[in-house]
Amino acid sequence: MTDKLTRRQFLRVALARALAAPAVALLVSSYPLVLEPVWLDITRLRLRMSGLPPALRGLRIVQFSDVHIGPFSHGWFLERAMQALQRTRPDLIVFTGDMITRDAPLTPEALQPFKGLQAPLGVWGVLGNHDHWTDPDRVQHLIEQHTPIRVLRNAAVSLTYRGYTLWVVGVDDAWVGADDVDRAFQGVPTDTFRLVLMHEPDAADWLPLTPRTVQLSGHSHGGQVRLPFLGPLMLPYLGRKYDMGLYNVRGAWVYTNRGLGVIAPPIRLNCRPEITVIDLDVEVPG
């Protein structure tokens, strides 16, 4: 009787191990393809800046980027991401390009997740290289017709927060040569807070940044796959120097968001999709 029970136990253990191995292999292989691309990360930053009035302390800017509506996007994930964004209670929402994947169809239904975005200072954005490679005028028209996002193409807008005037500057895509820096910054004072939206982060090297400037970018997706000790396997043109996270460039803050979507291969590893919440802080001399 004891021998029989031992044999049964042995068979159960052997069967469990035989089933566990492929299950673990399936889980490991499916993680970067199925799980991480929809595991949203909300990154929170407090940026300290000197020379700004106390009125700007606590201004909350929330950024999303690189949605890449197309064959690998999921409407339910974007809906959930925008709900999470809205719960952060932003004063200002910005989008830093690539609403669509190159040549993918863009429909009002696909833009539905962004319809409810709202912030006291508005929702502003720029186009990315995939938007331009598709049809920039059509992409802009659909975004502005079916979402609250207002697209800035080499243009700036002044906003008032607690009685203080700040500027949002949108520079059009650099990869396709649509950027016109002089036009974008025309009439924008240098002695005020300037929020610069530019799809490609490496443009920081030639944009007129000052210590009172924050540049927000996307484009790189953080590489999508980042290996321990090796970093990103591949990065795009103009997204290689400031590929992910926060940098100080000539006294200005530059932040590169990892984006919400993916392009082929549609995987993420150690590089979760991201929404960035930025709270301004003001350095007081003394």
**CATH number of the domain to which 103 belongs:** 3.60.21.10
Do 23 and 118 sit in the same domain of this protein? no
Instruction: Give me the number of domains the chain comprises.
Output: 2
Do 235 and 108 sit in the same domain of this protein? yes
Do 2 and 144 sit in the same domain of this protein? no
Do 99 and 170 sit in the same domain of this protein? yes
Do 229 and 152 sit in the same domain of this protein? yes
Do 101 and 20 sit in the same domain of this protein? no
Stated pTM of the model = 0.90
pLDDT per residue rounded down to tens, the chain (286 residues): 445 556 655 555 454 454 444 544 444 568 899 999 999 999 999 999 988 999 999 999 999 999 999 999 999 999 999 999 999 999 999 999 999 999 999 999 999 999 999 999 999 999 999 999 999 999 999 999 999 999 999 999 999 999 999 999 999 999 999 999 999 999 999 999 999 999 999 999 999 999 999 999 999 999 999 999 999 999 999 999 999 999 999 999 999 999 999 999 999 999 999 999 999 998 766 5
Do 153 and 33 sit in the same domain of this protein? no
Do 80 and 124 sit in the same domain of this protein? yes
CB contact set of 264 (below 8 Å; sequence gap of 6+): 72
Q: What is the domain range of residue 49?
A: 41-283
Neighbours of 278 (CB within 10 A): 23
Strands 60-64, 92-96: pairing is parallel
Tell me the torsion sign for CA atoms 274, 225, 248, 202. negative
- State CA 112 to chain mean position distance: 18
Do 112 and 178 sit in the same domain of this protein? yes
User: What string of H, E and C letters represents the secondary structure of the chain?
Assistant: CHHHHHHHHHHHHHHHHHHHHHHHHHHHHHHHHHHHHHCCEEEEEEEEEECCCHHHCCCEEEEECCCCECCCCCHHHHHHHHHHHHHCCCCEEEEECCCECCCCCCCCCCCHHHCCCCCCCCEEEECCHHHHHHCHHHHHHHHHHHCCCEECCCEEEEEEECCEEEEEEEECCCCCCCCCHHHHHCCCCCCCCEEEEECCHHHHHCCCCCCCEEEEECCCHHHCEEECCCEECCCCCCCCCCCCEEEEECCEEEEECCCCCCCCCCCCECCCCEEEEEEEEEECCC
Do 175 and 55 sit in the same domain of this protein? yes
Do 269 and 152 sit in the same domain of this protein? yes
Do 138 and 27 sit in the same domain of this protein? no
